[in-house]
Amino acid sequence: MLSLSLKYRKKTWISRRLKEKLIHGFFFFNGIISVIILLGIFALLIFTAIPAFREVNLKEFLFGIQWNPTAYVKNSYGILPMLVSTFMVTLGALFIAIPLGVGTAAYLSDVASPRVREITKPIIEILAGIPSVVIGFLGIVLVGPIIAKIFGTHNGLNALNGSILLAVMALPTIISISEDTLTNIPDSYNQASLALGATKWQTIIKVKIPAGLSGIIAACMLGMGRAIGETMTVLMATGCAPAMPESFLGPVRTLTSSIAIELGEVAYNTTHYYALFALGLVLFIITFLVNLTSDIILHKYEKVNR
């Protein structure tokens, strides 16, 4: 009888249940750790950045147009030029990457034969796997001289160069997510449009891309997040002059490259050091917001599609 066996096993059951609970707890800890890390990053950035504002006022920090933490007379900590530089380079990159990326995604999802798709997909994966430092290096030795020749500038290490490289880096993200979105659009849309006599091209432009617009926007936002946070390429290829950028052909210095350049030389626990963490905090907040927005868009999109 079952009842007998239950009583008989009660002891092993309790220890078994305890063991299962412990294992569950162990994995829960593993699961929760990503939350801890995210909060930890945020908290440590804040705590290390706060001391900077004992000396620097927040308004001056955000809107000051001069960044000179090692001046003889008075140090200045204005990050506006870096913010402008960051957005300039990023927008330039998006200007190149969005049409190329969305075009490629549309081609892969709707036009390409399965064979072409099979060849192209790994190519895009390989592109995503190329280290940023290699791309930055090519910015110096390959893209730079070309830009210098075409525009007659001194060395070609400028915002345009950075934008081109960042476009290359953002492309895989934009392509793969846009393509997922376009492929997941119900086939009924496609067929309805074709049945009404639209050409395949008209269907892509007038039906599929509008239907997948939110997913495509999310993809571009993610690409943007990557571009804003990218360090090595811009550090190597944009010339890094810490002044207000004048044009796409002038040198710029983004938030990321400022941190990369200066953190190696600064003494720990000085105002300059804290100020660099404040830069990191600003960077963290910007990318967080960009990624969060894209996340919200993607999720809304998923829900609608379900």
Residue 86 identity (one-letter amino acid) = T
Nearer to other proteins, 9 or 74 (CB): 9
Question: Which residue's structure tokens are 């402008």?
Answer: 84
State in angstroms the smallest separation of the CB of 267 from other proteins. 13
Nearer to other proteins, 24 or 151 (CB): 24
Query: Any contact of residue 222 with other proteins (CB under 8 A)?
Result: yes
Sign of CA dihedral 90, 155, 279, 48: positive
Find the binding residues for other proteins in span 142-201 (CB under 8 A). 142, 168, 171, 175, 199-201
Find the binding residues for other proteins in span 55-94 (CB under 8 A). none
The single residue among 58, 99, 196, 213 that binds other proteins, judged by CB under 8 A, is 99
Query: Any contact of residue 31 with other proteins (CB under 8 A)?
Result: yes
Query: Any contact of residue 293 with other proteins (CB under 8 A)?
Result: no
Query: Any contact of residue 130 with other proteins (CB under 8 A)?
Result: yes
The single residue among 18, 27, 118, 206 that binds other proteins, judged by CB under 8 A, is 27
Query: Which two three-digit tokens encode residue 250?
Result: 């002038």
Nearer to other proteins, 54 or 59 (CB): 54
Query: Any contact of residue 33 with other proteins (CB under 8 A)?
Result: yes
Nearer to other proteins, 35 or 71 (CB): 35
Query: Any contact of residue 1 with other proteins (CB under 8 A)?
Result: yes
The single residue among 141, 195, 267, 304 that binds other proteins, judged by CB under 8 A, is 141
Query: Any contact of residue 132 with other proteins (CB under 8 A)?
Result: yes
Stretch that binds other proteins, among 67-75, 138-146, 182-190, 211-219 (CB under 8 A): 138-146
Cα-Cα-Cα-Cα torsion 184, 170, 247, 287, nearest 10 degrees, comes to: 90
Query: Any contact of residue 268 with other proteins (CB under 8 A)?
Result: yes
Query: Any contact of residue 123 with other proteins (CB under 8 A)?
Result: yes
State in angstroms the smallest separation of the CB of 74 from other proteins. 26
Query: Which two three-digit tokens encode residue 70?
Result: 């090692």
Chain CA centroid to CA 131, Å: 15
Nearer to other proteins, 1 or 71 (CB): 1
State in angstroms the smallest separation of the CB of 252 from other proteins. 16
Stretch that binds other proteins, among 3-11, 75-83, 208-216, 243-251 (CB under 8 A): 3-11
Stretch that binds other proteins, among 9-17, 59-67, 71-79, 147-155 (CB under 8 A): 9-17
